Structure 1
Amino acid sequence: MVFKKMLQALGVGGPSVDTVLTNPNCRPGGFLEGQVHIVGGDHAVDVEYVAIGLMTRVEVESGDNEYQTNQEFHRQRLTGSFRLESGARHDVPFRFEVPWQTPITEVYGQHLHGMTMGLATELEVARAVDKSDLDAVQVHPLPAQERILEALLRLGFRFHKADVERGRVYGVEQELPFYQEIEFYPPSRYASGINQLELTFLPTPRKLQVILELDKRGGLFTEGHDAFGSFDVDYATVDQVDWTGQLDNWLRQSAQRRGLFF
């Protein structure tokens, strides 16, 4: 994928940048590879640095208000300073590490509604910094994440939407200042007690942490509330487990502990 943008902060006749990804598809803990092609403008300039950063759309709660903002969460400086002559071309190859807890954006070839993910290129000349538009990146689930998603689909849960929320999840290893929630509608057999199921993945190099949140329905004289649970998935043995049965048991036991019965 290619994007091209004249660097507005550097004025008319300044350098232009093309960033080319070898493949915009990746997984958490993997890599994005490509090249940044910089072409000099009408006059020579001293470039301070070239950097790339991975960005996503994050939901932020502030008091009673809620808003969304683009947040860069991983950054790599590709160069130091160099002289870019008029009309000269400077190519910068890169291999960009994707953080383990990067939110996923695709499931089985379908984009997760509500997700935005992209790579931005930044160049500084004479203290003027300009960032490119986002170059879209598709983040696919790890095999262990796929097993959990497959199990939920087999149980009849249907995708609703996904978002990224700023904040921390208690009691787990979390490396980024936000976490992803993937929301599902429940099948009829669970719908009597659950409005929706919210799923959060927090992978590490050693294990996959899975957090489930049950949005409990309120009764005529009771208010609905959320119930949480979590478990770890071992990468080495993930294919040896009946995740459909495990999740069904967990959902029923978790619900029963909180007074829900399916």
Structure 2
Amino acid sequence: MSFFKKVAASIGIGSAKVDTILHSSSYSQGEEVTGVVHVTGGNVEQSMSDIDIEVMTKYLIEEDDKKHYREVKLLSHRVTNSFIIKAGEQKDFPFSFQLPLDTPVSVRNVSVWLHTDVDIEKGVDSKDNDSIKVVPHRWVNNVLQAVEQIGFRLHEADCEHAPYFRRRLPFVQEFEFRPFSSQYRGKLDELELVFQLEDHGLEVIVEVDRKARGMFGWLEEMYNDGERLLRVYFDKVELESGQKHIETKLQSLINQHAG
């Protein structure tokens, strides 16, 4: 009977199972993610490889004149090294790690998930995916609220391929706003923002009006033309001093290039 159990486990029948349980389903950029990986033994004793949790997302890329999404790993965290799980045994492995500051915000088409992967010797590998909601870091949120206060509403947000920025990741998250106030309606088509969040401040890359140059056009065009690449930096003191200062600084920049 033991032989047949081993054969069954090797094709996934009665094999060990892995389940990742998060303490929360929503996290802010840079926040600590905590949870436990629950492993349940199957019908036979099995050797389990290292368990890693990977933070995943996807970004839009254009290749051969076609646009498609590509998955990318933001972070990999080792939960435990290899171990033996006996038949019917249960083991819990707590974990905690910091979500990267450049994790994209879960809005519109943007999704972030945790992928738990473990190789099982002489068995079918066990996998577990858990979606999480990523909310803006408070500094990013302050800027987003300031943009709305001066007369713009969020229209779209997506992650797009942008290797020319030479950042840690091959993409940036672009926030597209449309004007709704009389001050800017009819003068501007769109306002595009990209955030570069750091430990001690926040850089905002701004395109005041791209005039429909195409999905990927404005970022690459502005990067290659330094005079048109608008940047505004908020240090920690500014970001913590109140939203009014942020509104004033942003509005001044927009007004200079809105004509």
Which TM-score band (shorter chain)?
0.7 to 0.9
Note if contact 1:197-1:213 (Cα within 8 Å) is conserved in structure 2.
Answer: yes
Q: 1:122 aligns with which of 117, 141, 144?
A: 117
Residue 150, structure 1, aligned to residue 145, structure 2 = yes
Distance 1:67 1:175, change over 3 A: same
Computed over aligned residues only, the root mean square deviation of the Cα atoms, in angstroms, reads: 2.4
- Structure 1 residue 143, shift from structure 2 partner: 2.0
Matches of 2:178 and 2:10, distance apart in 1: 46
Q: Which runs of 5+ in 1 are unaligned?
A: 1-7, 106-111, 219-223, 256-260
In 2, the alpha carbon distance for the partners of 1:98 and 1:175 equals 14
Name the aligned partner's letter for residue 196 of structure 2: L
Flag structure 2 segments of 5+ consecutive residues without an equivalent.
Answer: 1-8, 213-217, 223-227
1:91-102 map, 5 Å: 91-102=92-103
Report the CA distance between 1:84 and its aligned residue. 0.8
Q: CA deviation at 1:129?
A: 4.1
Question: Could you say which structure has the higher strand fraction?
Answer: 1
1:175 correspondence with 2:178 = no
* 1:164-212 C-alpha deviation (Å, 9 max, x unpaired): 1122354xx8322221111111234324343211211111112211111
Corresponding residue number in structure 1 for 2:6: none
| The one of 205, 208, 217 aligned to 2:202 | 208
Residue 146 of structure 1 and its aligned partner are, at CA, apart by: 1.7
Secondary structure of the residue aligned to 1:190 is coil
**Could you tell me how far apart the structure 1 residues matched to 2:164 and 2:200 are?**
18
Alpha-carbon offset, residue 130 of structure 1: 4.2
Q: TM-score, normalised by structure 2?
A: 0.82
Name 1:26's counterpart in structure 2.
Answer: 27
- Relative to its length, the structure with more helix (as a share) is 2
Q: 1:10 to 1:242 in 2, by over 3 A?
A: farther
Percentage of pairs with the same residue: 29
Paired with 1:206 and 1:185, the residues of 2 have a C-alpha distance of 29
- What residue is the counterpart of 1:132 in the other structure? 128
Structure 1 residues 233-242 or 51-60, which shifts more?
233-242
Instruction: Determine the C-alpha separation between the residues in 2 that align with 1:30 and 1:200.
Output: 20
Aligned length: 235
Q: Which deviations, in whole Å up to 9, do the C-alpha atoms of 1:19-57 show, x marking residues without a partner?
A: 111122222222100000010111111011111111112
Task: Normalising by structure 1, report the TM-score.
Answer: 0.81
**In 2: Cα distance, 1:70 partner to 1:10 partner:** 28
